Amino acid sequence: MATTSTPVTHHGGQHAPHASYLEDPQYRGLMSWLTTVDHKRIGLMYLWSVLTAFLLGGLFALALRLELLTPKEDFMTAETYNKVFTLHGAVMVFLFIIPAIPAALGNFVLPLMLGAKDVAFPRLNLASYYVYMTGAIMALTAILTGGIDTGWTFYTPYSTTTGGAVTLMTFSVFVLGFSSIFTGINFVATVHKLRAPGMGWFDLPLFVWGTYATAIIQVLATPVLAITLLLLAFERMFQIGIFDAKLGGDPVLFQHFFWFYSHPAVYIMILPGMAIISEIIPPFSKKHIFGYRAIAFSSVAIALISFIVWGHHMFTSGQSQLAAVIFSFLTFLVAIPSGIKVFNWVATMYRGSISLDTPMLYAISFLLLFTIGGLTGIFLGALSVDIHLHDTYFIVAHFHYVMMGGTVIAFLAGVHYWWPKMFGRMYNETWARIGCILVFFGFNITFLNQFAMGAKGMPRRYYSYLDQFQGNHIGSTVGSWVLALGLFIAAGVLLASLRKKYDAPDNPWGARTMEWETQSPPITHNFPNNPVMQHGPYDFDAPAVRRES
Amino acid sequence: MSSHTLPAPGDTHGHDAHGHHDPNLQHHFVEMAQQFDTAKLGMWLFLATEILMFGGLFVGFGLQQAKFPEAFKAAHHHLDRNMGALNTVVLLISSFTMVLAVWAAQTGRRKVLITNLILTLACAGTFLVVKYFEYSHKIHDGLLPGKFFHYAQGQPNEYIFFSFYFMMTGLHGSHVVLGMGAITWLLIRAIKGDFGPGYYTPVDLVGLFWHLVDLIWIYLFPLLYLIG
Amino acid sequence: MTSGAHAAGHYDHANDWKLYLGILIALLILTVVTVSAASFDFGSANVIIAVLIATCKATLVALFFMHLRHDSAVNAIIFLSSLLFLSFLLILCLIDIGSRIEPKPANWKGPSPGVIYPADLDKPVAPATGAAPASGTTPATPAAAPAAKH
């Protein structure tokens, strides 16, 4: 139905359709992909890479859930279980979620939204991809040569004393950090300097605001992770005496350093997700976004506040009570901009003409799931409650509601939303919706059970448990199968569409942002001419967009 | 794309509206000023990451220093203040010659540019030579980081100071080496005559990087050599 | 246009080298100041004095050698925000470490430990009495029990 508002393509002189970036005769063959500096192609390479990582991390998760079906050891020993949950966490965090939205979708969409021909530093962009691949290969090597059983957080003193390939893994994360920094530098510079003529800061689509805030965090937080991991590796190799209490170090200092990066990193993960939702809700409600500036500023506010709340990961780690109280107070501040966003999204939908296409279904799922994840985060930010709930499945459920229910659902929403633009094909809407609904219910079955058993005291990171928790564990495992089925259907629907000929219109959803003004898929240089800003990104009253020719 | 400055053959179309083709203009920029500002912004972002990376080390150093003030005080007496001061002066002079190089490129003085780049390289080399003497002295005495520390009369925990000393000066020294590589590259291009008032972006960017290296040493010197 | 490459090129650069030379001399003087200041002991103010002088030098370098004085404000904001966020790391870590209560066994009856010296963490505390190990190694050696912890 949304296609009815597709703008009439201008049949001007040079309309003979340009070859898209996917089959530009100037850039053919494998080498043209491996050496490309085109942000769209780099975005696609990132997309396939992060999806592979998602598949890998997901398979680890399914294995964990299967082991937990019964209270006793089934097919994993305690040690294997430790390694598998570390791999699940590390792969999902460092190889999938952090690069997923900015580096894959952001790379593709951001310059198009700005009306730019490319990101500011195309070669740096390609370098970032290869650095990512190097880090990924190092991580896989670490997995194959001994594994890591520290959890993805590498807490000292365990990580400085345990065996396995921890040193290699920390170097791999060190390298992956640089890939993230390069993307961040690129995006900040692009947003500052490559906007189309006439496009002011408050004409930017909200996706750009979100990725911009993310990029700030990437630039300012990731270097501290790099130096932390370097120190950790040196502590392991040379016993330099910074994190190991036996040598005069302070293990809690490691947690400070680690979370100084990794808490903002949580917002590296969720901010782009929020940004996608801000982008999807208006066209499917056919309404201007409610509270544009509030959403834009709340993105930046989240980015800034995210730097001063990290201590809420350490309430039970031995930091001082004064510090804990300060961090707890600051943590509540983050809830304000997050709440602003949720209310504005709902207000945008209010009395809109809502069409429930797949991206919108995912966006609504996001609203429900992220709200649950966010509210339980407030419980956990309260000191006294956290003492009870820390290191239980309640925490696990909370951050899966934010990371999976928030970021991954938003990522799926974005992939379904921009798929026609990326590949020029429409997917089967019915099956895609079925996939979305299965994902939604499977997710809730999996993790609502974990909330319940966490509140009852089931600790996280154990391969066996007391019989009384088995009911919830069975529910959670069955839920993970439903979730997996939904994801496989979604993947199948999308991949099946690739066998078709190009059938996507330029603007299938009737959106108003600039990426829909070029053809689907876009030409190598994005726009036939340098585009000029003609109307706002959510200006649904403006006359139908006319593609320049 | 194949070369750093020349757009690839396919990139030259689409600029006809601007009527000229500066060979240094990349295809996705409209004009040179935009490209210059963007490059500079990117460099400053990179410098911010450098500051935070070194900053993590400084914070770790400060906290451990507060924890073991006596050990750190005793340990810093093993450092040679004169060598440190000499290196400070050398780096400050190299910063001066570097900024002169930028100025020379800006104002089209090719010979001044080349001379100053060579002088900067010479200063950087001097810095490394002095560092080499300092390091070999420490290695000889066994004043080494972590488990390699074997100085006979060492106080407890002195090795933590030397862990930081070697990490901080080592990371800084690796930046000096990287900077020397970049300056050498500038020198080659300057001799080829690539730079002038119309295009001196690389000189400016390497200059910024070099000043940051200087800036970090400005803090390292008093903290390590003077206060301990 | 090619001359557009001057971001700050609206004035004559020809005499800039004199300015740079002046800055270099100022930097060298400050270096002498910081070295000679280090020969006096101001107690805990030592660090503050050294960092203040270093910051003066760094400011000169940033403003003149790195051209921040004439540069676009965005670059200065990036530079300053990196320092701001670094200060978050430092301050919040200091708040924690400065206000920590020493970890010791609940029934510890030994001397008030200051810091339990790391090497002793290896040795068991007698569970019944909470006394320090019989070997007589008291936890605090003079060099290692910093008063700063209290």
Which tokens go with B143? 């004043």
Q: Is the pLDDT of residue B53 over 80?
A: yes
Q: Which positions in chain C touch A319 (Cβ < 8 Å)?
A: 96, 100
Beta carbons of C51 and B69 less than 8 Å apart: no
Beta carbons of B41 and C81 less than 8 Å apart: no
Can you tell me the mean pLDDT for A93-122?
95
Q: Which of B69, B198, B215 sits opposite C3 (nearest CB)?
A: B198
Q: Is the pLDDT of residue B130 over 50?
A: yes
Q: Which positions in chain C touch A253 (Cβ < 8 Å)?
A: 93, 97
Q: Residue C46 has what pLDDT?
A: 85
Q: Is the pLDDT of residue A450 over 50?
A: yes
- Residue A234 main-chain phi, psi, to 5 deg: -65, -35
Closest CA to A400 of A446, A338, A343, A342: A446
Q: Which of A220, A256, A323 sits opposite C82 (nearest CB)?
A: A220
Q: B115 CA to chain A: closest CA distance, Å?
A: 31
Can you tell me the mean pLDDT for A320-346?
94
Q: Which of C81, C96, C118 sits opposite A220 (nearest CB)?
A: C81
Instruction: Name every residue whose Cβ is closer than 8 Å to that of residue C48 and which is 6 or more positions away in sequence.
Output: none
Closest CA to A249 of B145, C51, B73, B173: B145
Beta carbons of B48 and C50 less than 8 Å apart: no
pLDDT digits (tens, 9 = 90+) for A229-239: 999 999 999 99
Lowest mean pLDDT among A164-178, A316-330, B42-56, C109-123: C109-123
User: For chain A, what's the residue count?
Assistant: 549
Question: C125: pLDDT confidence band, cut at 50, 70 and 90?
Answer: low
Instruction: Select from 3.40.190.10, 3.10.20.30, 1.20.210.10, 2.160.20.10 the CATH code of A27-517.
Output: 1.20.210.10
Q: Give dist(CA B181, CA B199) in Å, integer.
A: 20
Can you tell me the mean pLDDT for A387-400?
94
Can you tell me the mean pLDDT for B2-20?
38
Chain B residue closest in CA terms to C43 = B227
Strand partners, B196: B199
Beta carbons of C89 and A220 less than 8 Å apart: no
Q: Give dist(CA A414, CA A404) in Å, integer.
A: 14
Q: B33 CA to chain A: closest CA distance, Å?
A: 11
Beta carbons of A311 and C96 less than 8 Å apart: yes
3-state secondary structure of A434: helix
Q: Which positions in chain B touch A250 (Cβ < 8 Å)?
A: 63, 67
A536 close to A196: Cβ distance less than 8 angstroms: no
Closest CA to A257 of A275, A243, A272: A243
Percent of chain A with pLDDT over 70: 95
Q: Is the pLDDT of residue A396 over 90?
A: yes
For chains B and C, count residue pairs whose Cβ atoms are closer than 8 Å.
171
Start-to-end C-alpha separation, chain C = 64
Return residues 125-184 of B near C (CB < 8 Å). 155-157
Q: Give dist(CA A116, CA A518) in Å, integer.
A: 12
Instruction: Name the DSSP class of C42.
Output: -
Which tokens go with B46? 């990179």
User: For chain C, what's the residue count?
Assistant: 150
Q: Residue A7 has what pLDDT?
A: 40
Residue found by looking up tokens 């029990």 in the block? C145
Which tokens go with A435? 């996939």
Helices (H) and strands (E) in chain A, counts: 18, 0
Phi/psi zone of residue C50: left (φ > 0), alpha (ψ -120 to 50 degrees), beta? alpha
pLDDT digits (tens, 9 = 90+) for A465-493: 999 999 999 999 999 999 999 999 999 99
More reliable by pLDDT, B5 or A299: A299
How far, in Å, are A111, B5, B42, C50, C69 from residue A121 at the CA level?
Answer: 12, 13, 8, 39, 26
A140 close to A53: Cβ distance less than 8 angstroms: no
More reliable by pLDDT, A7 or C113: C113
Q: Which of B33, B44, B156 sits opposite C7 (nearest CB)?
A: B33
Give the domain ranges of chain A: 27-517
Beta carbons of A220 and B42 less than 8 Å apart: no
Start-to-end C-alpha separation, chain B = 49
Give the domain ranges of chain C: 16-69, 73-100, 103-141
Q: Identify the chains in contact with C, defined as 3+ C-beta pairs within 8 A.
A: A, B
Q: Is the pLDDT of residue A447 over 80?
A: yes
**Mean per-residue pLDDT of chain A:** 91
A167 close to A235: Cβ distance less than 8 angstroms: no
ipTM of the complex: 0.91
Q: Give dist(CA C38, CA C34) in Å, integer.
A: 6
pLDDT digits (tens, 9 = 90+) for C34-85: 999 888 888 778 889 999 999 999 999 999 999 999 888 999 999 999 999 9
Q: Residue B153 has what pLDDT?
A: 76
Strand positions, DSSP E, C4-143: none
Q: Residue A62 has what pLDDT?
A: 97
Q: Identify the chains in contact with B, defined as 3+ C-beta pairs within 8 A.
A: A, C
Q: Which of B56, B71, B198 sits opposite C5 (nearest CB)?
A: B198
Return residues 195-224 of B near A (CB < 8 Å). none
CB atoms within 10 A of CB B179: 23
Beta carbons of A323 and C101 less than 8 Å apart: no
Q: Mind giving me the DSSP string for A43-80? A: HHHHHHHHHHHHHHHHHHHHHHHHHTTSSS-SS--HHH
Question: A120: pLDDT confidence band, cut at 50, 70 and 90?
Answer: very high
Beta carbons of B68 and C21 less than 8 Å apart: no
3-state secondary structure of B196: strand
CB of C138 less than 8 A from some CB of B: no
Q: Give dist(CA A153, CA A3) in Å, integer.
A: 46
pLDDT digits (tens, 9 = 90+) for A13-69: 344 467 889 888 888 888 889 999 999 999 999 999 999 999 999 999 999 999 999
Beta carbons of C100 and A320 less than 8 Å apart: yes
Closest CA to A479 of A449, A435, A434, A437: A449
Q: Residue A287 has what pLDDT?
A: 92
How far, in Å, are A365, A478, A484, A486, C53 from residue A481 at the CA level?
Answer: 18, 5, 5, 9, 63
Q: C119 CA to chain A: closest CA distance, Å?
A: 6
Q: Which domains does chain B have, with CATH numbers?
A: 49-147+155-227 (1.20.120.80)
Question: C113: pLDDT confidence band, cut at 50, 70 and 90?
Answer: low
Q: Residue B209 has what pLDDT?
A: 97
Beta carbons of A222 and B27 less than 8 Å apart: no
Q: Give dist(CA C54, CA C20) in Å, integer.
A: 18
Q: Is the pLDDT of residue A496 over 70?
A: yes
Q: A238 CA to chain B: closest CA distance, Å?
A: 5
Q: Which positions in chain B touch C27 (Cβ < 8 Å)?
A: 92, 95
CB atoms within 10 A of CB C147: 7
Strand positions, DSSP E, A177-240: none
A509 close to A535: Cβ distance less than 8 angstroms: no
Phi/psi zone of residue A136: left (φ > 0), alpha (ψ -120 to 50 degrees), beta? alpha
Can you tell me the mean pLDDT for A407-428?
96
More reliable by pLDDT, A466 or C113: A466
Percent of chain A with pLDDT over 90: 81
Q: Is the pLDDT of residue B38 over 60?
A: yes
Can you tell me the mean pLDDT for A305-309?
94
Q: Give dist(CA B17, CA A435) in Å, integer.
A: 48
Q: Which of C88, C92, C118 sits opposite A246 (nearest CB)?
A: C118
Q: Which of A245, A308, A323 sits opposite C118 (nearest CB)?
A: A245
Largest CA distance in chain C: 85
How far, in Å, are A15, A90, A161, A510 from residue A154 at the CA level?
Answer: 56, 10, 11, 47
Instruction: Name the DSSP class of C72.
Output: -
CB of A333 less than 8 A from some CB of C: no
Q: Residue A247 has what pLDDT?
A: 87
A448 close to A542: Cβ distance less than 8 angstroms: no
Which tokens go with A365? 């799922």
A65 close to A480: Cβ distance less than 8 angstroms: yes
Highest mean pLDDT among A51-65, B65-79, C134-148: A51-65
Q: Which positions in chain A touch B30 (Cβ < 8 Å)?
A: 530
Q: Is the pLDDT of residue B184 over 60?
A: yes
Burial of A311 by CB count in 10 Å (0-12 exposed, 13-18 middle, 19+ buried)?
buried
Q: Mind giving me the DSSP string for A226-258? A: HHHHHHHHHHHHH--SSS-GGGT--HHHHHHHH
Chain C residue closest in CA terms to A249 = C118
CB of B51 less than 8 A from some CB of C: yes
Q: Is the pLDDT of residue C121 over 80?
A: no
Q: Residue C104 has what pLDDT?
A: 67
Closest CA to A222 of A138, A102, A140: A102
Q: Give dist(CA A296, CA A118) in Å, integer.
A: 23
Q: Which positions in chain B touch C57 (Cβ < 8 Å)?
A: 218
Beta carbons of B163 and A226 less than 8 Å apart: no
Q: Give dist(CA A143, CA A162) in Å, integer.
A: 15
Q: Is the pLDDT of residue A547 over 80?
A: no
Residue found by looking up tokens 């219910």 in the block? A441
Instruction: Name every residue whose Cβ is closer than 8 Å to that of residue B97 and which is 6 or more positions away in sequence.
Output: B116, B117, B119, B120, B123
Q: Residue A541 has what pLDDT?
A: 77
How far, in Å, are A283, A287, A349 from residue A353 at the CA level?
Answer: 9, 8, 8
Question: A535: pLDDT confidence band, cut at 50, 70 and 90?
Answer: confident
Q: Give dist(CA A242, CA B168) in Å, integer.
A: 14
Can you tell me the mean pLDDT for A74-102?
93
Chain C residue closest in CA terms to A315 = C96
Instruction: Name the DSSP class of A392.
Output: B
Q: Residue B2 has what pLDDT?
A: 31
Can you tell me the mean pLDDT for B69-91?
92
Q: B122 CA to chain C: closest CA distance, Å?
A: 17
Q: Mind giving me the DSSP string for A105-126? A: IIHHHHHHHHT-SS-S-HHHHH
